[in-house]
A and B are shown apart, each in its own frame.
Chain A
């Protein structure tokens, strides 16, 4: 009896977050290789980016072939989402939110193109192509040079113009009172 207790205490002690030892024993443990294949999300520090790199000069042709029909030759002409320009527009009567004017992280561009574009053939690009197109869209926005290599090492370091444009959610931001003002004010 005593030894059972000791073992139980030892398990509780070594588990990093107490109470988080498996209860149901469901599922199986994936291999590291399996996790690597599934794990396509690229965080803002870019540490999950695959090896490789490319330039806008190289990406230009891939963009023309695989993206321009829907986003325009210069990324501005549509018919779908505008990817380029809109600078200084966010405070105007017609804000134009693009990769250049609005997106805070360049890693998001790589991640999104890699997972979701081209719209009708998602997941069809090689990572080299994604580097090239990412570089090209950043170049069209005047954020990187045409010959600059955008790679696993450099992408997260690209400083986006609107990087500091985002704030935490401050709601409730209305005073909690309707027109007649009869109810108690809102509290957090």
Chain B
């Protein structure tokens, strides 16, 4: 009953069958899956062939097991260069997103930047304008921090009616990495911000020359100028060789391929903070500089497109995060929101990072609805969709952090619904 054999079973059931391994022999002994014992490899004592011949030799750069198939999925967008891909959250383990599966959002494709040639300029309202090479930035005191990055467009298809079938499509524009870099405050102090400097304009070296205005206060607080991701250099699609990481704020402000930081006395009202990434309200006004990603959670298993193979025990698992700091509490409802119980928060529980939650559940075979609700350290509670729509109408597009509902049918199939 090794994990290896189980990897051969269909994709939809895969997530759940793996739970057997974690639950220990007692539970697996009473395995509820009727197909399990019928498989020849589970009734015969034959040892695996892999012990009878040498395995593959050592290699320079690892690849995942050939049986693992989780991939990013691209959204339907008019072009492939201004487009986005979703992280397969249903297959994610723990809180770190593999760099190769981190969601993407680019406005002009992924540039190829040679770190030997790339430079960062810091200028504007500073005492001493600076041009730094990537090598010089590597020499400065560095920190590593685990932070989520969520696109403010995450869940944008779900305002009016359930649209995406699975959690990859509904919530896959969030990912979490360990980022390594230099606190931006260090470089701003190095350049010497002048009185009157209140914002920075950050500019990327991609074909969109992506540009955002960011309050200086946040830059002096906790913004990172990152060059490392999960123990190695940033991936090209994550901004190689330099990007901003802005804890808890919307992804689009975290300018990738960053080449220039100008200290200024007001926001510059770039296209990406006026035409886009502003939230239109029912009265026709639009909110701008809606940076904070408010508390949000989602159950990743069981989630849409999956199927519960039988009645019995399941561990409900999911992710929670908040742009206002740490997740304090996640509650789970297995009856469509009538009753809520506290989920267990898996360590580590870090500020501005994905937090894994788990909740034991015994499915009785009846139709029901699964939901999760997150509370963060500020006391903010993840709202229902009705509450959000009441405040913001149906056209604000960004920042949908509503409670997600997954409906389990009597057949065990799970789908996205509005409850």
Contact = CB atoms under 8 A, between A and B. Distances in A.
Interface string B60-93: 0000000000000000001101100000000000
A8 interface: no
B337 A180 contact: yes
Given A41-B262, A178-B382, A169 B289 contact: yes
B136 A30 contact: no
B94 to A, nearest CB: 26
Contacts of A4: none
Query: SS class of chain A's interface: helix, strand, loop or mixed?
Result: loop
Given A116-B207, A186-B380, A165 B284 contact: yes
Interface in B182-207: 186, 189-195, 201, 203, 207
Given A16-B192, A27-B132, A186 B381 contact: yes
B392 interface: yes
A172 B380 CA distance: 8
A126 interface: no
B266 A44 contact: yes
A122 B195 contact: no
Query: SS class of chain B's interface: helix, strand, loop or mixed?
Result: loop
Interface residues of B, number: 80
Contacts of A112: 270-271, 275
Interface string A43-87: 110000000000000000000000000000000000110000000
Contacts, number: 202
B337 A122 contact: no
Interface stretch (B123-131, B143-151, B358-366): B123-131
B383 interface: yes
B373 A40 contact: no
Contact of A105 (B108, B195, B274): B274
A84 to B, nearest CB: 13
Given A44-B268, A91-B284, A174-B388, A186 B132 contact: no
B295 to A, nearest CB: 9
A178 B381 contact: yes
B140 A26 contact: yes
A107 B378 CA distance: 38
Nearest to B137: A26
Contacts of B207: 116, 122
A21 interface: yes
Interface string A152-188: 0000000000000111111111111111101111111
Interface of B: 78-79, 81-82, 107-108, 121-123, 127-133, 136-137, 139-140, 186, 189-195, 201, 203, 207-209, 211, 259-260, 262, 264, 266, 268-271, 274-275, 278, 280-292, 294, 329, 331, 337, 340, 373, 375, 378-384, 387-388, 391-392, 395, 399, 403
Interface of A: 15-17, 19-24, 26-30, 34-35, 38-44, 79-80, 90-91, 95, 97, 99, 102-105, 107-108, 111-112, 115-116, 119, 122-123, 165-180, 182-188
27 contacts: A15-B192, A22-B190, A28-B131, A30-B123, A35-B129, A41-B270, A44-B268, A44-B269, A91-B284, A95-B280, A95-B395, A112-B270, A116-B207, A116-B271, A119-B79, A165-B284, A166-B274, A167-B281, A169-B288, A170-B287, A174-B387, A174-B391, A178-B383, A178-B403, A186-B379, A186-B380, A187-B378
